Structure 1
Amino acid sequence: MLSHANPLRRPARVVIAGVSGVGKSTLARRISQALDLPYTEIDGLYHGAGWVPRPEFLDDVDLFIREPSWITEWQYRDARPMLSARADTLVWLDLPSPIAISRVVRRTIRRSRTRVELWNGNTEPGLWHALVSPEGIIRWALAHQRRYRRTVPAASLEHPHLQVVRLRSQREVDSWLAGPLATAQRGM
């Protein structure tokens, strides 16, 4: 596994891993802009109206990963093997749980208040749902943080072609974007 200080080949097909709240989509947009990679927000492909999974989800994933360059989040168990096989770089946002949870709580409150449409007509169910429901985003984030500590290393072993970059703090994220990624952007 690469540290954020190691040399980086210029990424063309990137997945961003991490639990809810660590900043996967934000980082994906930043990398997309820096490297001119088309960004597909995978939640928009997965969630249909009423939060029902779209039956064509995996077909849509298969379609966009056939392109020569792209960036998306490394989510949804059924899609991960496809994404890992085709990606050249996996960026793992392994931020501490308190940071992820505080961010997801703030995001949930903001989205609940504004009733912003997320994907396919869906809006944030609210803080109570996020805390109490088994499908609630806060409970999900808490339950899945440890899983990434198993699944990301396993994916890197199963797919040795993947450059894996593990970032453990916002400072490391910012440093990596300004250092190794900027160097890769210049094609070095």
Structure 2
Amino acid sequence: MPLFDAADPAARALAPTRVLVAGASGSGKTTAARRIGQALSIPRHELDALHHGTGWVKRPEFEADVDAFSAGPAWVCEWQYDSARPMLAGRADAMVWLDVPVRVQMRQVVLRTLGRWVRREELWNGNREEPPWRVLTNREHIIRWAWRTRRAPAVRVRELLAERPELPVVRVRSRRQLRAWLAALAGGAHAQRSVSRRRSARG
């Protein structure tokens, strides 16, 4: 079962081109996906932006959009939404699992939600965070949802490993581990590009 710690030499030697980022809400998936895309020079696709239409209604084109980009040779995105997970899992060649402590995850999701509300930050297609007091009345409020689903990613990752035992999964437990792994990833990608350029020059 290729479940690697981020410090494992095998995890640092990976050179993936289709990368999924798994983790609970607030674990840092979007930031990690952006940094992975930068380290590997591959396109990043934000699933929330593809999923949410005006008024938080699911866009009817969501699955078609996911199918289109995930059929490509290189990408990184978050592993979320039930209708997209099987398609993405079947096409990925690596997964990064952000298995951060629950206290860290919940602190981040609370601070993120409050910050977006205070700034009146526009998210996707004009949507904005609900007022913080709605956490008391709305069962689907993002903070309550994050707490309720905090353990789901671990279950899904282990189920995926049973279905695809060949898929390398890099388990990341902190920002420090992520930074160190990304530095190794970027170094390996740079070395590969240098070798490719030399071969092209000789050819």
Cα offset, 1:76, TM superposition = 0.5
Matched, 1:43 2:48: yes
Cα offset, 1:175, TM superposition = 2.0
Structure 2 CA distance, aligned partners of 1:97 and 1:14?
24
Structure 2 CA distance, aligned partners of 1:154 and 1:80?
12
Q: 2:5 aligns with which of 3, 14, 21?
A: 3
Cα offset, 1:130, TM superposition = 4.2
Write the letter of the residue equivalent to 2:88. L
RMSD: 1.6
Cα offset, 1:132, TM superposition = 4.2
Cα offset, 1:22, TM superposition = 1.0
Partner of 2:116: 111
CA deviation string 1:87-137 (max 9, x = no partner): 111100010111111111111111001111110111111322345422111
Q: Is the radius of gyration larger for structure 1 or structure 2? A: 2
Write the letter of the residue equivalent to 1:30. R
Partner of 1:184: 188
Cα offset, 1:184, TM superposition = 3.3
Structure 1 CA distance, aligned partners of 2:135 and 2:91?
33
Q: Is the 8 A contact 2:20 2:94 kept in 1?
A: yes
Higher mean Cα deviation, 3-12 or 47-56?
A: 3-12
When normalised by structure 2's length, the TM-score is: 0.87
Q: Is the 8 A contact 1:105 1:127 kept in 2?
A: no
Structure 1 CA distance, aligned partners of 2:111 and 2:87?
32
Higher mean Cα deviation, 76-85 or 160-169?
A: 160-169
5+ residue gaps, structure 1, are none
Q: Is the 8 A contact 1:48 1:54 kept in 2?
A: yes
Write the letter of the residue equivalent to 1:108. T
Higher mean Cα deviation, 65-74 or 161-170?
A: 161-170
Cα offset, 1:178, TM superposition = 2.3
Partner of 1:154: 159
Matched, 1:93 2:95: no
Q: Is the 8 A contact 2:24 2:152 kept in 1?
A: no
SS of residue paired to 1:34: helix
Write the letter of the residue equivalent to 1:74. W
CA deviation string 1:58-96 (max 9, x = no partner): 111001101100111000011111000001111000101
In the alignment of these two chains, the number of paired residues is 187
Partner of 2:60: 55
Q: Is the 8 A contact 2:24 2:151 kept in 1?
A: no
Partner of 2:83: 78
Q: Is the 8 A contact 1:42 1:73 kept in 2?
A: yes
5+ residue gaps, structure 2, are 196-203
